[in-house]
Structure formats: C-alpha cells, structure tokens
Amino acid sequence: MSGPIPAHIEPRKLVDREIVLKGTVAAVKMPRLSALLDAPAGDVQVELAFARDEQGIATLHGHYQVEVALICQRCLEQVVVPLDSQCDVGFVTSDEAAKQLPRHYEPVVMDDEPLDLHALIEDELLLALPAVPMHPMETCQHPRGYQPDPEEPEAEKTEKPNPFSVLASLKRDT
C-alpha cells in the first residue's frame, strides 16, 4: 500500500498479512518534533514492513527519511540536517515477553487499543536528531562580532607539570 500513513493501526492484522506500507506523514502532525525545529519540516517518507521473523515474533521494520532545519551550535545559523532512521520493533503482550525479545528488537507492548503509528514514527525521528547540530567545519560561518582568541604565547604551550604527580610520591612512601 502507498499513500498517507494511517495514524492508528492494528499491528496483529498487518503482521498476519505481511503488509508493507509506503507513504508520507506530515511533520506538522508530530508536535514534539516540530517544537525542536527552526522551521517547519516537509513530509516524512515512511516505509513500514510488517512480518513474523523465523522465531514467530510479530515484527515491524521501519525506515524514515526527512530533512529538518535546526540551529547550528557553532555559528547559530540554520542548518538543514537529513534524518535517515531505521528501527526493528517486536510486538509483545507483556513486559515479561519484552524481556525475552532478541536484543535487536525494540519492544512495543500491545494491548487491545490500536497502535499510535504517528507517535512511534515521531519517537524514532526524535532519537535520530543529532545531539549537537552543526554545519560541516568548512561551511560554518562565525556569528557576528566573533573574535578568535589571540595565539597563546610559546611559553604557555609547553607542558605543565601534572598536579597528581605529588600523589604518586606519597604512594611510594607507604
């Protein structure tokens, strides 16, 4: 199937049919992500493959792509960062079953409620955001009024004594 990705799904039905969903989700439908951006993002390209693995575990393999505008922490100007995230989810019915999942699966505990698919996608994109967004060094511009530190004198560039060397002499005395 392709087109807009539905907001809520029944994962068990999609897993049993081995459905692949391809489409988009408007970034404006993701308020937590939108709050961190410097400018509104476009649509998130999404591909979701539902299946059972060789152990019979109900799984979802997701791939998400979008370009987001953040603030460069070096020059304080806008930087566009491409997000390209993948996840492997294992659907389980309890916390105990989640502990038994293979390590490469992120557990999602299912109950009788439909799964909020947009929230799951938003969580993955939030995890994919860089901790410190920056332009590449060669393209980053310094903010207005920036003055580089003057070169430190040659005398200060020599190695300073280690302040812990005193502790080493105390240890030898015992």
52-80: per-residue pLDDT in tens? 999 999 999 999 999 999 999 988 899 99
The b/e string for 84-103 (b: 16+ C-beta within 10 A; e otherwise) is ebebebbbbeeeeebeebee
CA angle 155, 161, 163 (to 5 degrees): 135
| DSSP SS3 for 53 | coil
The torsion region of residue 164 among left (phi > 0), alpha (psi -120 to 50) and beta comes to alpha
Mean of pLDDT over the chain: 87
pTM for the full predicted model: 0.76
Q: Can you give the pLDDT at residue 139?
A: 83
Q: Can you give the pLDDT at residue 1?
A: 55
Q: Can you give the pLDDT at residue 63?
A: 96
Q: Which two tokens stand for residue 91?
A: 């659907």
Distance CA(167)–CA(117), nearest Å, equals 58
20-49: per-residue pLDDT in tens? 999 999 988 999 999 999 999 989 999 999
Question: Which amino acid belongs to residue 114?
Answer: P
Say if CB 74 and CB 134 are below 8 A apart: yes
Distance CA(30)–CA(23), nearest Å, equals 16
Average pLDDT (13-26) is 93
Q: Can you give the pLDDT at residue 112?
A: 82
123-159: per-residue pLDDT in tens? 999 999 999 999 988 888 766 666 666 665 555 556 7
